[in-house]
Each structure stands twice: as C-alpha cells, then as structure tokens.
Amino acid sequence: MGRFFSSTVETALRDIYYQMWTGRGKEALQSLEQASAAGDGDASCVLARCYSGEQYVWDGHGFPEDGRKAASLLRRSVKQGSALGVLICLRSGVMTPALEEEMPFDSLQEAFDAVLEKARAGEPFCQYTVGNVYFWWDFLRIQGKSQEDFPSRQAFRDYLKENIAKCEDWFWKAFRGGVYWGGINLKNYYQNGAEDLIRPQPAKAVDIDRIGA
C-alpha cells in the first residue's frame, strides 16, 4: 500500500502524469486494468481518465480514447468506494441521483473532504481535482448551495468569489507536483478570470509558460 493510494495507483499516477516521459504508460495502464478488475476504485478512476482523450491525459502514451468505457469505469469507481472517483464522476457529468444513492459515502461533501485531506498532505492529482472543484464551480453541488441560501445577491457573489479563487493555489500545487493539466487550467483562470466575479490577470500566465518551458 502506498501513502495515499494502492501501490499500483501511485505508480500509475507517477508514470502517467508526474513523470509521463518515462515510457511506462502502457505498463501502468495494464496494471490499472488488473487492479480495477480486482476492486480498486481509485484504479478504476485513474483508468477512466486514461480512456478520456488528450484533454485529460498525455496523447504521447498512445492510449485509445473510449468515452463509453471511461464513463463505465467512473461509475464503477464510485461503487467501489473511490472518493476521487466521486469528484471526477461529478465533474464529468456522469454522477446521477441514482449513482449518488449507491456511493458508499453519506454525502458528496464527505467524498470531497477525503480527497481534500490527501491534497493537503501533498498528493498532486488530488490537488488538481480539488482545484477543479473550485474552478468549475462544482462546490455548489457538493455543498448544496444556491443563491436562495444567501440573504442578498451580493452575499452570494462574495461566496462564489471566495470559493472560485481557491482554485489558484491548488492548481499551482498540482502543476508544481507534475500535473501538466493543473497549469493549463491555471493559465485559463489567469487569462479569462471567472465571468464578472474575478478579473483576468494575464500577466500571471507568463509565469506558467516559463515554468512549463
């Protein structure tokens, strides 16, 4: 067992994301397939990302893109008890009310807290996933919040700004930890801001290009 996940998953994350130039991507894919079949929910989750295309994994690995298989694996990961799978399932639009009822967590917040704990302890893929929760506003569903829960429109806007802005630190941590896609989303955040809530900061995007060069 690794520090955060099974040894298989931690090795796969290293070879597929953090040190993706090692050339061991296909070996990692095979190991994930075996671990997923054996009941490892985190393996099912990472495996799903491997089949999700270049938006989610380096195309240099040569993994085939298969959206249906990816969605099926995400659902499997949730049923197998992966908190990481719950958040990525939510982000991917695969989380249905029925699946939410089946997951072995009392709430989406419980799953988020489990991933957040690993992110705070330094796990880069969890840091990236937490960043996405704030960047894509998934925190609204996780926390069960809407404008009706606030005394004024401004109070709701302040709540949104406070949460969305949290993505910046998490994306930096993930990017520095080897998750290239954390840098992509961070650059998007700097260049575009967040609607009329957070202004663009294009000058900060230069630092990302410098580090990634």
Phi, psi of 147 (to 5 degrees): -60, -30
Q: Mean pLDDT of all residues in the chain?
A: 96
Averaged over 20-25, what is the pLDDT? Answer: 90
pLDDT exceeds 60 at position 67: yes
Of all residues in the chain, the percent with pLDDT exceeding 70 is: 98
HEC secondary structure over 97-157: HHHHHHCCCCCHHHHHHHHHHHHHCCCHHHHHHHHHHHHCCCHHHHHCCCHHHCCCHHHHH
At residue 2, the 3 state secondary structure works out as coil
pLDDT exceeds 50 at position 59: yes
CB 57, CB 50: distance < 8 Å? yes
Q: Sign of torsion, CA 96 89 107 102? A: positive
pLDDT of residue 1: 74
HEC secondary structure over 27-94: HHHHHHHHHHHCCCHHHHHHHHHHCCCCCCCCHHHCCCCCHHHHHHHHHHHHHCCCHHHHHHHHHCCC
pLDDT exceeds 90 at position 151: yes
Instruction: Tell me the longest C-alpha to C-alpha distance in the chain.
Output: 54
Cα separation of 82 and 103, whole Å?
A: 9
Domain extent listing, the chain: 1-105
pLDDT of residue 211: 63
pLDDT of residue 213: 41
Confidence of residue 207 (pLDDT cuts 50, 70, 90): confident
Quote the pTM value: 0.95
Q: How many CB atoms lie within 10 A of CB 212?
A: 11
pLDDT tens digits for range 159-173: 999 999 999 999 999
170: nearest Cα among 203, 204, 205, 123: 123
pLDDT exceeds 50 at position 206: yes
Cα separation of 138 and 160, whole Å?
A: 11
67: nearest Cα among 56, 79, 53: 53
